[in-house]
Structure formats: structure tokens, C-alpha cells
A and B are shown apart, each in its own frame.
Chain A
């Protein structure tokens, strides 16, 4: 299993070389090194996964280096490979390799390419450290490492104020979650005396029913630990309350959104819950809470997704919503289904983002879907890939055969229903509603982008492009063609403004095609391995797998089994009616809904709420502490007051003329003399 060392550390080396080499190294070299490293890592990861798939591999741990040993608190750098890791390895390295490749085309005009590719590889390294962690602290290292890479990549276009702001927001909001994670690690160490994951999981059941003191009260031990750790997961996976950074993270280049904010990093929270599933299983309260948060997030994010116009934000909210599905699957104990959805989602969501990138590329950086339309003939490959992704996310399929999302999402919904708890059925119905909305907003995106008449003329980006193009032309062709140039804007009454979108180059299309294959087949092919009777063989105890839940899933009413399909069709129908048949319908509905629509459109007002609840007070309190407390009170009655008193005193006494320094030294000397005489006397 020593390939794992290459898989993990090769991207790090590539990142260092490309990052430090930067301009001296040149674009092509930096891109080749990083992309090459990722393809090697990917090529080495699939055999490992396949070995686990056919049951010929065992979980191993490869030690790397001692890290910290402080009393009983010891943890080392080590790489753990088991089934769960193997699944994450293929997801991370495959998507990352394809995103590296795609970025050759997407970032082609970028002046700062080595830096971009170095960040991408750095991210991959950190993510791999996270998924191979054998102890909680190394997981935390990966956790923060991906946070750093995410910060750097969101802020890649750092000249843009909005990008720098979004980068900070992502880091700081994630840190709120990390606070929980960190306290969770401390608590875990306190209870179990170790941070080694296998040791904790082995002992967790024995702690059921014990209590622990926390903030002056006594609680159920495992509930406290699990909830603290889950706060970390909520931050990284953008769950309700700590989700606000994810939509803003779309300020980063689109390949970044595909890799980090869709396929890999944001799923770290789900991975963590699955990795620690034997621990979470010991606290029904924590499991109920996870189910609730997941279900609420999947519903809430979907509502916002229905109203947004920015193509990337729609997909971002969609990601948030799909992560909600994974969490409530974990919450009802269907960890296998959660991982299965994580796996399929990685392919189809990366695909959707990369397709969006291709559209944005074709439309000269325009991201507003109101200015799209009629693109399917212009960029056919992108269109078909996007369609494949949409079929996958909406879960099209019947009689056990369908696109990727059909298999994984249905298994989640069935598990929620089959769990039989009231929170489980709450999650089921939330999931059904969300599935309706998923279908609606996904098809809405496709219809707005690819169908109907072109609406490009009003876009500033397009106008800019056309202007630029014409000026360019007239420069080349001289004054003779001037009339033609003017003709360009006015005469195109077809909404195109004379703009001609081009299909992306093959380096961008190839990843789309490969991911499309994943989006179509990943569910069908791997369903047996991830979620079915006998799947325990595959997981080999890497996560908790309930065979009885699988049995119960088979036993749920036929209507409930068909429910996802029904709502999916309904969503498609509404989207078709609203965006193809009767295009004035959505505006009418929005008007009818009035404040409700505004509330949802403005993202449930979370940003405003947090701004006035946390950001403004923090700055205000900071100012008050500084001006009033430090300067107004402490200094005034402390040193300044003393100085004033000394000055007053000295003017009366007229004794001390030497300045403070000397009197200080004098006092010290006198003190020493006193000391010595005391000792001699004593």
C-alpha cells in the first residue's frame, strides 16, 4: 500500500514546485507538473478502490512521521487506507485530475496560472490528508488545509473586493465550525484518553449512558462529543446556519467551485460523520439532530435555488441542498447511502459546475441566466453534458435502472422512510419537497440557458465582448469597414447582439464527457457495492452499516417508492411550463407571492441577519473596548494618571530631575543593596 504515499505527497510536491517556481517555471511547465501529478495519483487510486470492491484489500495504516506527544495526548502523521478512504480517494483524485485538465482551457487567458494550479494541487493534498487521517488531529489538519486552499482559491482574483471578502467569509465562518470540532477533539481526548480514530470507535459503545460536565452542566457524554464534532461538519459542509459562505464562494474561478465547493471539500463533513459513525450511533440525540439539520438544509437551500439567476449560485444552493440529503441519510443510520450519494454527487455536481463554466466561457463571463437562452445549438457538447448532469441530479430512472442520482437519492429517501422514526419521516417529506424543487430549478437552469430565444443583447459582458470584437475588426480592416461595425449592434434584433458563442476547447470538453459517463452510470454500477444486502462485505466495518435498514427499505409502500419519481416529473413539468410554454408565468407567481418570494430570493435574510448580529457589533465593541476601556479607563487611571500624579508631586518636591529611567535604575540598585544587606544580616 505504499502507493498511498505517492498519491498523497505527489500533489504536495507539485504544488510546492509550481508555487515557488511560478513565473520562472512558466505556465506550461507548472501546469504539466501539477496535472501530471494528479493523473498519476488518480491512476494509482482506482486500483486501490477496485481491490476494495472485489474484496482483496485490507485496511492498512502507513506511518509517516511522529507529530506530537504531550503526556497522554499523542498523534502522528499516518495514512490510513480502508474502504471509506478508498471511496474518497477515487472521488478526490478523479475530480481533481479532471479539473486540473479542464483548467488548462478555462484559465488559458489568466496571467497568473502557476499560482492557480499550485493552489489546486495544494488543495488536493490537504483533502487527501483529511481522508487518510488515522487520528482526529490529522483530520483537523486536512480540514484546515482545505480551508486554506479554499480561502486562496476563492480569493484567487484578489483584486476584486467581492472575491477577497468572500474568501475571508469562507475562512471565518468555517472557523466557527472548527471551534466545535476542536472542542469535540478535546472532549474526546478527555473521555477516551486518545485521539486515534480506531481506538475511539472501539471504545465508544462502552461510554453510552455516561455523563460529562460541560459548561457547568452535566450531559450525556456521547451526545456532547458528537454534537461538538458535528458543528465542525456543519461548517465545512455548509449546513443551515453555517452555510452562508458557500454561495459567496462562487467568487472563485468555476473549476474551483466544481472541485472544492461541490465534489470534495464540502463533503468532508459527511465523510467525518461516516468515519465516526460508530461514535455517532451511540447518541440517538445527536443522530436526531443531524437528521433535522440535514433535512432542514436540503429543503431550505432548494427553495433559494429556485429563485436565483446566477447560474453558479443555483448550483451552489443545489450543492448545499444535496449535502443536506447526505446528512439526513447519516442521521437515520444509512451511512452507506450517505456515502453513495456523496460518490455519485461528486461526479454529477462537478459535471454541472464544469458545464456552467463552459457556458460562462462561451458567454464571455456572463453568469446571469436572464441573459442566456437558445444556446444548445451553439455549444452542443456542453448542452448534452449538462443534460446528463441534470438527469442525474434530478434522479431520472425507474424499475431500478436510472441515472446516478436516481440510485443514491432514492436509497436515501427510502432509508429515511424505512427508519420508522418521526424525525425520519420528517426528513423523508422534506426530502420529497426538495426533490420537487431540485427537479424544478435544475430544469429551469437548462431551459433558461439552452432553450428559448437568445437574450444576450442586454448583457454588459456580451456588449463589451461585441464592442471589443468590432473595434478589433475595424482596426484591422481600416476605415472601409466602419459602416459594417456600426451595423453590428443595431441590426441584430434577434437578441444575440451579433455575438457568436463558441464551444469550449477539447481540454474542457474531455472532462465533461468523462464526468458525463460517471453521471450516467455511477449509480447503477456501484449500487450493489454501496447499498445492498451483503454490502457489509464491502465496507468491512469502515462505517456502520445496518443490514436491517436495507431490508426495511425494500418493505416500504409502493407509493412511497414512486414518490421521488412523481415529484421529479412534476418539477420538470412546472419548469417546462414556466420557462418554455408560458414565460410570463414565473414573474406572475413571484409577484403573487410578494414578500415570501423576496424573503427566499434574498436567501432567507441570513447574510443581513449575521451582518447586524455579528459583524457590526464586533467592530463596534472593538472600538468601544479600545477607545473607552483601554484609553479611557485603563490608561487614564493607570499610567497616565500616575504620570500626572508624579509630575504634580515632583513640581512640589523639586527633587527628581533625572528622568524616569535613572530613578528606576536607582530604585533597582537600592533594592539590591537592601537584598544583600538583609541576607547578610539574616
Chain B
């Protein structure tokens, strides 16, 4: 594969197809979009298969010097690889989800989606800090359009809400980036990841990046754009928003904040823990009282992202790998749940939970898949949701037992709101005649949910496939930040009875 610019090709295919879609009629645009996303998925598989686990940290690198150090530099490590594979996996499903439900301005819609795919891949493989910034911010523009044009009734409000949230963070991050490049003298991300910034300056830089990433994550209390955006977005928009766009915040932390500002990260860790605890408990309780399916799942996403942030700021391997696994799993599961909502929304055109009920009777297959994704969201072992949640919590337990305890209540609250949702939708009697008349999954819908279901089980039963590519990168990151890690509150002290013996054993081992 050496020499073949696969990353550029993966970005070019959807870009070209997306531009073409703008000028095509509805049918042709749909077909072209599907073909393009499938080609990209195939390329993603090729990328994964050719990724050398245990090889160089940065692979598939491409570099074109543009001017004054600013360069078109691409390259991926295991972390980026997994997020790219997630992106290209979800895209064909998004196109499928929009197949029938989008009937106006189809060409533009498909175009927006394809261009967004290009930009999302760009975010994960950019190795130049300004290139990253461009992709990072531009990637959201198609999303605004998707919400603002093809969204629900309050789409304008939802779009500008996100805009206002994002604005401040982006400006601050850009200023920080400018400063960093000025000081370090390079725009190269891998170089910056190893650069030791003055700890005093780190504080400010960290805060500037935090302003941007916390919104994208989203962390409590800057999360209120998410329910609004999800509720208004069309199904596929929600899938990609939950599946990939929310991962950009986590990716930002893992790529920039942690390795570039380890001391500041340690300094602010308690802040992150506090916000994460608040996110898990508060948004879970809010999810419990929602009457709108999409809002419920949106709030549950905020709670799950709380688990991601505690994992990231646990400063150990389990926490970091766990948070990556939560991100990947949440990408699949939240995407699948929004898809499940979309499937019945297409039939009844309402997101109001009370309008459904007893779907297990007339839609047993649907109920089965919905149950699987519900259980994965709850974190049942054997599904993807468990591995990440378990590792993240194990990671944070080693450093802050309080945080672990509070965030672990998420497993109780998560079960409560998801099962309560499932009960109202799938269980009970058929209260509404129109809901009772809905047909079970059709072939197109099977094609969308079955791959997701298999991926969820694969990631739950044999997560090694996903952990292996990132192991070395996580280890490198851990090595970089562990020196700064705050001291854990759960250290074991061997008691008075037999200290001599234990010490001797320890020294012997060293």
C-alpha cells in the first residue's frame, strides 16, 4: 500500500460524489451517494486491514508543503483509524436511512452528507494543526444545513443554538493554536504532541481547547444544544451527529489536550470529574422524564459522554482505552437507537413516546433489535457498551473512588430510563390503532440494523479487534501523561502485621 494516498482518496471520493450530487435528480443522487459511501467503506476496510498493528505510530502519511510551514499533512494512528472506520461504516447506513424519508432537495441533501464525510475523515487524519482546525470547524457547516433545511419545526432555533455555543470555543481554540505554533515553531501535530509547553502557559492553552471540545463533546453544562439539534435533525442527521460528530470532542482531548498539556490536564482533572459526575447523574435523571424519544436518547448521549471524559482523565491505560471504546460503542449504539426511532417515526410521524406502545406485538423483529441496542446502551456485558464503560470506570476508580461511585450510578439510572422507554414503546397493550397497524422491518431496514447489531455484538464479545490497533498509541499517550497524573485516593497500604515481609518481597521483585 505504500505510496498510494488512500487517505486522500477516501476524502476525495465523497467530495467528488457530493459535488456531483448537487446537480443530479433525486434518484441518481441517492444511488450515487450510496455507491460513494460504500466505496469509502470498502476503502476503510482496506485501510484497517493494511494498518500495521505494532508498526510505526503514524501510518499512511502524506505530506505536501504549502507555505510557511503550513502543510497538507495526513496520517493516522490506531485511534484515528478506528474513528475513521466508524465514520465510513455509519455513512452508508445514513444514506439508507434517508432513502425514503427525504424527498425534497435530495441532491443537496446527499451532497451535504457526502461533503460532511470528507470533512469528518479529514478531522481524524489531519496532521497539521491548522488543517485540523479547518476540518474541525467546517465539518459542522453541512450539519447546520442538514438541520436547518431538512429538520423539524424548530430547526432554525436548533441550528443557531449550536452556532452560539460553538462560536466562542472556536475562536479561543484558534488563538491558542496560533500561540502554540508561534512558540513551538511548527504546525505539525505529532511534533506538538511531544513539545513541552511551559506549565503556566499550558493552563491557558488547555482552557482554550477545553472551551471548544467541551461544547463538541458535549459536557455538562454546555450540552443544551444537543437535545435541540437531535430533535430537529432528520434521522440520518441524528445518527451521524451522535455517531461521529460527538466523537470529535473526545478525539480533541485525546489528540491535543492530554498529550500537549499534560500538567494542565492533571491540574484540571478534578474539574472534568466534577462536570462528568454532574453529566451522568443530572442528564440521566432528565432522560427519565422525557416524553420525546429523540430527546431522551440525546440526554442519554450526554451521560455516556460523561463516562468518556472520566476515562480520558483517569490518566491510565484502562481509562484511556475505555473512553475510546465508549466512543466507538456509543457511535454504533446511539446511532442505532436514533435509527430505531427513525424507523417508527417514518411510520407514524411522531416522536412522542405515548403515541406508541405494544410494538412487540406487531413489530416483533423491530422489538428484538431495539432491545439489543437498548441493552447495549445500558452496558450489558457481551455488548459493546459494557467493555468501554467497564474499563473507563475501572480506570477512574484507581484515581478517584468518589468519581467512580457517582458515575457508576449511571448503570442504574441508565437501566431505568432506557427500560422505561422500552416499556412504553414496545411493551404494554396496543393503545393506538395506528401504532398497532405498523408493519415490521422491511428489507431496507434490515440492511441497516443487522450490520449495526453484528458490530455491537462483535465489539462486546471480541473487543480485541478494536483495542489492538490503538494499544501502542494509548501506551505512548499514557507514558507521556502518567508523570503528571494526580495521585489516586485509593492506594493500598500494607498493614502493620507483616510490613517487613511485604517490602522484602517487593524489593526482591524489582
Q: How many whole Å from B459's CB to the nearest CB in chain A? A: 11
Across-interface contacts of A207 in B (CB, < 8 A)? 492, 494
> In the complex, A43→B455 CA distance in Å?
35
Q: Is B375 an interface residue (CB 8 A)?
A: yes
Q: Given A164-B427, A678-B182 in contact, is the A175-B130 Cβ separation under 8 Å?
A: no
- CB <8 Å contact, A164 and B490: no
> In the complex, A148→B385 CA distance in Å?
15
Q: Is A208 an interface residue (CB 8 A)?
A: yes
Q: Given A158-B427, A672-B130 in contact, is the A186-B317 Cβ separation under 8 Å?
A: no
Q: Is B451 an interface residue (CB 8 A)?
A: no
Q: Which of A168-185 contact B (CB under 8 A)?
A: 168, 171-172, 175-176, 178-179, 182-183, 185
- CB <8 Å contact, A66 and B464: yes
Q: Given A639-B225, A671-B171 in contact, is the A68-B467 Cβ separation under 8 Å?
A: yes
Q: Is A601 an interface residue (CB 8 A)?
A: no
> In the complex, A137→B282 CA distance in Å?
28
Across-interface contacts of B240 in A (CB, < 8 A)? none
Q: Which of A650-682 contact B (CB under 8 A)?
A: 660-661, 664-665, 667-668, 671-672, 674-676, 678-680, 682
- CB <8 Å contact, B495 and A635: no
- CB <8 Å contact, B380 and A619: no
Q: Which of B151-174 contact A (CB under 8 A)?
A: 159-161, 163-167, 170-171, 174
Interface-facing stretch out of B85-93, B136-144, B202-210, B256-264: B136-144
Can you sample 30 A-B contacts with CB below 8 Å? A67-B461, A68-B463, A70-B318, A71-B317, A140-B381, A144-B382, A158-B427, A161-B428, A164-B427, A168-B419, A172-B416, A182-B408, A186-B394, A187-B397, A190-B490, A208-B495, A208-B497, A209-B498, A212-B492, A625-B282, A626-B290, A629-B282, A639-B224, A643-B161, A660-B159, A661-B144, A661-B145, A667-B171, A668-B138, A672-B133
* Nearest B residue (CB) for A22: B364
The contact of B322 among A70, A211, A215, A660, by CB within 8 Å, is A70
Q: Is A555 an interface residue (CB 8 A)?
A: no
* Nearest A residue (CB) for B413: A618
Q: Is B42 an interface residue (CB 8 A)?
A: no
- CB <8 Å contact, A70 and B160: no
Q: Is B245 an interface residue (CB 8 A)?
A: no
Q: Is B390 an interface residue (CB 8 A)?
A: yes
Across-interface contacts of B391 in A (CB, < 8 A)? 68, 70, 73
Across-interface contacts of A137 in B (CB, < 8 A)? 381, 390
Q: Is A210 an interface residue (CB 8 A)?
A: yes
- CB <8 Å contact, B181 and A186: no
- Chain A binding surface SS class: helix
> In the complex, A592→B412 CA distance in Å?
42
- CB <8 Å contact, B397 and A66: no
Q: Which of B284-338 contact A (CB under 8 A)?
A: 285-290, 316-318, 321-322
Q: Is B363 an interface residue (CB 8 A)?
A: no
Q: Is B134 an interface residue (CB 8 A)?
A: yes
Across-interface contacts of A630 in B (CB, < 8 A)? 224, 286
Q: Is A621 an interface residue (CB 8 A)?
A: yes
Q: Is B8 an interface residue (CB 8 A)?
A: no
- CB <8 Å contact, B428 and A159: yes
- CB <8 Å contact, A179 and B130: no
Q: Is B401 an interface residue (CB 8 A)?
A: yes
Across-interface contacts of B386 in A (CB, < 8 A)? 144
1/0 contact string of A616-650 vs chain B (CB within 8 Å): 00110111011001110011001100110010000
Q: Given A186-B393, A186-B404, A639-B165 in contact, is the A623-B289 Cβ separation under 8 Å?
A: yes
Across-interface contacts of B191 in A (CB, < 8 A)? none
- CB <8 Å contact, A191 and B492: yes
The contact of A65 among B164, B165, B221, B462, by CB within 8 Å, is B462
1/0 contact string of B390-410 vs chain A (CB within 8 Å): 110110011001101100110
Q: Given A208-B497, A638-B222, A674-B178 in contact, is the A190-B462 Cβ separation under 8 Å?
A: no
Across-interface contacts of B167 in A (CB, < 8 A)? 664, 667
* Nearest A residue (CB) for B423: A164
Across-interface contacts of A493 in B (CB, < 8 A)? none
- CB <8 Å contact, A215 and B402: yes
- CB <8 Å contact, A622 and B495: no
The contact of B462 among A67, A171, A635, A674, by CB within 8 Å, is A67
Across-interface contacts of B404 in A (CB, < 8 A)? 183, 186
Across-interface contacts of A168 in B (CB, < 8 A)? 416, 419-420, 423
> In the complex, A622→B381 CA distance in Å?
27
Q: Is B415 an interface residue (CB 8 A)?
A: yes
- CB <8 Å contact, A172 and B492: no
Q: Is B361 an interface residue (CB 8 A)?
A: yes
Q: Is A28 an interface residue (CB 8 A)?
A: no
Across-interface contacts of B498 in A (CB, < 8 A)? 206, 209
Q: Which of B331-377 contact A (CB under 8 A)?
A: 358, 360-361, 364, 368, 375
> In the complex, A171→B374 CA distance in Å?
13
* Nearest B residue (CB) for A192: B492
The contact of A211 among B316, B321, B493, by CB within 8 Å, is B493
Q: Is A506 an interface residue (CB 8 A)?
A: no
Q: Is A411 an interface residue (CB 8 A)?
A: no
Q: How many whole Å from B509's CB to the nearest CB in chain A? A: 12
Q: Is A218 an interface residue (CB 8 A)?
A: yes
Q: Given A155-B427, A216-B402 in contact, is the A675-B178 Cβ separation under 8 Å?
A: yes
Q: Is B70 an interface residue (CB 8 A)?
A: yes
The contact of A210 among B166, B322, B381, B495, by CB within 8 Å, is B495
- CB <8 Å contact, B134 and A212: no
1/0 contact string of A382-424 vs chain B (CB within 8 Å): 0000000000000000000000000000000000000000000
- CB <8 Å contact, A625 and B495: no
Across-interface contacts of A67 in B (CB, < 8 A)? 461-464
> In the complex, A275→B92 CA distance in Å?
48
Across-interface contacts of A665 in B (CB, < 8 A)? 141
Q: Is B411 an interface residue (CB 8 A)?
A: yes
Q: Which of B489-503 contact A (CB under 8 A)?
A: 489-498, 502
Across-interface contacts of A667 in B (CB, < 8 A)? 167, 170-171
- CB <8 Å contact, B490 and A675: no
- CB <8 Å contact, A618 and B380: no
Q: Is A213 an interface residue (CB 8 A)?
A: yes
> In the complex, A682→B69 CA distance in Å?
11
The contact of B495 among A19, A69, A211, by CB within 8 Å, is A211
The contact of B492 among A148, A164, A221, by CB within 8 Å, is A221
The contact of B405 among A161, A215, A221, A643, by CB within 8 Å, is A215
Across-interface contacts of B70 in A (CB, < 8 A)? 676, 679
Q: Is A141 an interface residue (CB 8 A)?
A: yes
> In the complex, A68→B318 CA distance in Å?
10
Q: How many whole Å from B456's CB to the nearest CB in chain A? A: 14
The contact of A182 among B181, B390, B463, by CB within 8 Å, is B390
Q: Is A599 an interface residue (CB 8 A)?
A: no
Across-interface contacts of B402 in A (CB, < 8 A)? 215-216
> In the complex, A664→B322 CA distance in Å?
35
- CB <8 Å contact, B467 and A69: yes
Across-interface contacts of A638 in B (CB, < 8 A)? 164-165, 222, 224
Across-interface contacts of B134 in A (CB, < 8 A)? 672
- CB <8 Å contact, A159 and B361: yes
> In the complex, A155→B495 CA distance in Å?
49
Q: Is A145 an interface residue (CB 8 A)?
A: yes
Q: How many whole Å from A639's CB to the nearest CB in chain B? A: 4
Across-interface contacts of B133 in A (CB, < 8 A)? 672, 675
Q: Which of A121-148 contact B (CB under 8 A)?
A: 137, 140-141, 144-145, 148
- CB <8 Å contact, A145 and B318: no
Q: Which of A55-91 contact B (CB under 8 A)?
A: 65-73, 77
Q: Is B52 an interface residue (CB 8 A)?
A: no
> In the complex, A137→B163 CA distance in Å?
43
Among B130, B141, B397, max chain A CB count under 10 A is at B397
* Nearest A residue (CB) for B173: A671
Across-interface contacts of A183 in B (CB, < 8 A)? 397, 401, 404-405, 408
Q: Is A538 an interface residue (CB 8 A)?
A: no
Q: How many whole Å from A606's CB to the nearest CB in chain B? A: 17
Across-interface contacts of A221 in B (CB, < 8 A)? 492
